[in-house]
Amino acid sequence: GHYLICGFGRVGRNVAEELDATHRPYVVIDVDEERLAAARERQPDLLYLTGDASDDDLLLAADINDAAGVFAVTDDDSRNMMIALTAKQINRATRVVARCLEVRNVPKLRKAGADMVISPDFTGGQRIAAAMLRPGVLSFMDDLVRSETAHRLEEIPVPEGFAPQSVGSLDLPGHDVVLLGIRDHRHFHFNPSPEVMIAGGQVLVVMCAPEARKTVERKILG
């Protein structure tokens, strides 16, 4: 499945770069034809449609029925709300992530159908404050998201059919892998002791080198 990026300002372009980095295909929708033409000059194979992404016809033209996900990232919260609503009406299965400018609009965007709502200016303010007050923690977290780093945060889903096993008996390579916690629907079990049982449907949150992830997966998949 491909992705739809609705809104191609600074935020939308940064989303596109993240998708490019992991070779995921996408179609861009924006009302501003000039902006799109300029973007295609920099990136000749860019797929785009000009118009309002909250319009069914445009979403259908971008093949939303076959899309893995929709990014509602224009610089207007009401527009993003309309895009989320329309996208979910056409294809309930598609994942919608919405950008939110004013934090007070987060609940409305969720209600409109967005699976996740991100507020760059809100998180940005938090990060700017953290850069002043807790600088080391911030750079550590940046290392965690960056994909080319030596150690990164990974989540490893435990398949439904997994025969329950204790953390200790999994025998994770302690030098390369730190098991930070086990996520279970909405609960997060931080720093589980060796006796804690792991069951199918849970997610292991680990910090590890990219190669070590494969080792953990082999242990989980048997």
Binding site for Ca ion (CB under 5 A): 7, 9, 11-12, 73
Neighbours of 140 (CB within 10 A): 11
* Token pair of 83 as six digits: 């895009």
CB-based contact 176:197 (threshold 8 Å): no
- Nearer to a copy of itself by C-beta: 72 or 82? 72
Residue 59 C-beta-side C-alpha neighbours within 13 Å: 25
Please report whether residue 158 would count as binding a copy of itself according to CB under 8 A.
no
95 three-class SS:
strand
Determine how β-strand 48-50 pairs with β-strand 67-72.
unpaired
Which of positions 5-44 make contact with a copy of itself (CB under 8 A)? 10-15, 17-19, 22, 24
* Token pair of 204 as six digits: 């292991």
Neighbours of 142 (CB within 10 A): 11
- Nearer to a copy of itself by C-beta: 57 or 140? 140
Contact range with a copy of itself by CB under 8 A, out of 29-37, 42-50, 94-102, 161-169: 94-102
Q: Which does 59 bind (CB under 5 to 8 A by kind): Ca ion, a copy of itself, none?
A: none
Q: Which does 128 bind (CB under 5 to 8 A by kind): a copy of itself, Ca ion, none?
A: a copy of itself
- Nearer to a copy of itself by C-beta: 57 or 143? 143
* Token pair of 21 as six digits: 């980095």
Exactly one of 144, 196, 197, 221 binds a copy of itself (CB under 8 A); that residue is 144
- Nearer to Ca ion by C-beta: 12 or 69? 12
